[in-house]
Amino acid sequence: MAIVNATDQNFADETKDGVVLVDFWAPWCGPCKMIAPVLEELDGDLGDKAKIVKVDVDENQETAGKFGVMSIPTLLVLKDGEVVDKAVGFQPKEALAELLNKQM
């Protein structure tokens, strides 16, 4: 499944079903750039078991504010639209896979 770029307008639709890893990021954020290839690799490993959604905090401040995102990258795990886990800062692929596997 391809990584989806969500906006304030479509975030609820993109995250309402199943297990979703949400990456709150910004183009100017160094650790966000470091985690991008990790997310691409993880997405390939996950197949259809979970979805990855990216939210640019500069362009989608309403969604970032709703979830209290204060530093980036912030990674939330949602299950059927509800936050079930969270990580802040760069995370290795194994740590992110573990977060998701707990919910699948």
Of 22, 32, 97, 99, the catalytic one is: 32
Of 26, 29, 87, 88, the catalytic one is: 29
Q: How far apart are CA 104 and CA 50, in angstroms?
A: 8
Q: How far apart are CA 71 and CA 64, in angstroms?
A: 10
**Catalytic residue list contains 29:** yes
State the catalytic residues: 29, 32
